[in-house]
Amino acid sequence: MIASKPTFTQHAGRSLIFEAILAASADIDLHAAERNAIYRLGQSMGMDEALLQEIEQAAVNEISHRRQIVALMYPEAVGSFRATMRELADDLMLSSDTSVIVDSKESAMKEAGEIIQSNAKIIAELGELIQNDKFCYDISNEKITIFKSVGIAIEDLAAAIVLYESLKKNKCE
């Protein structure tokens, strides 16, 4: 049986779960119950235990080049939170087939090293994306959509749930 190509909503939802797990892995203050909730949400979206554990292990490795991310398509970056830190290379941030979404433009321009150092264009804040579909042309299965957050792990979980539910109803399918 050949699996159908995942929709944008499925990609985005799984990608946000991916990021929540990465953030949870790095956040020593995150409670076990919150980590378990993230895992359960990932499992409910069809992610198996081995993949969830692999994601957790990936929390310590940076993605340095665009070619490393093409298969993922919807990466989130939360590990760097200073202008001098970065997780993603310029070739990824500046590629014509990359769209960058942030939790806060103001915060990203002060704290997100990969955005500051590469001078990458931010197409929208997460709230703007959730409120309307005018950005649908900037995010598709053919483009790489990066979500850059300088927030905290539990914020990523909440964003994953809100965005996933919103995109299920959105015209971006």
In a domain, residue 163? The reply is yes
In a domain, residue 111? The reply is yes
Which range of residues forms the domain containing residue 28? Answer: 8-169
Look at residue 48 and tell me whether its pLDDT is greater than 90. Answer: no
Do 102 and 75 contact (CB within 8 A), yes or no? no
Q: pTM for this one?
A: 0.52
Q: What confidence score (pLDDT) does residue 27 get?
A: 54
Average pLDDT over residues 132-152: 72
Total domains in the fold of the chain: 1
In a domain, residue 118? The reply is yes
CATH number, domain with residue 107: 3.40.50
In a domain, residue 1? The reply is no
In a domain, residue 70? The reply is yes
Which distant-in-sequence residues (6+ apart) come within 8 Å of 147 by Cβ? Answer: 15, 16, 19, 74, 75, 76, 77, 101, 102, 103, 126, 159
145 backbone dihedrals φ, ψ, rounded to 5°: -110, 115
Q: What confidence score (pLDDT) does residue 1 get?
A: 35
Q: What confidence score (pLDDT) does residue 171 get?
A: 56
| pLDDT tens column, 59-111 | 444 554 444 455 456 667 776 778 888 888 888 888 888 888 888 888 899 98
In a domain, residue 3? The reply is no
In a domain, residue 115? The reply is yes
Helix extents (H) in 32-98 = 32-44, 49-58, 90-93
In a domain, residue 107? The reply is yes
Cα separation, 163 vs 57, whole angstroms: 25
| pLDDT tens column, 101-125 | 888 888 899 989 889 999 999 988 8
Q: What confidence score (pLDDT) does residue 120 get?
A: 94
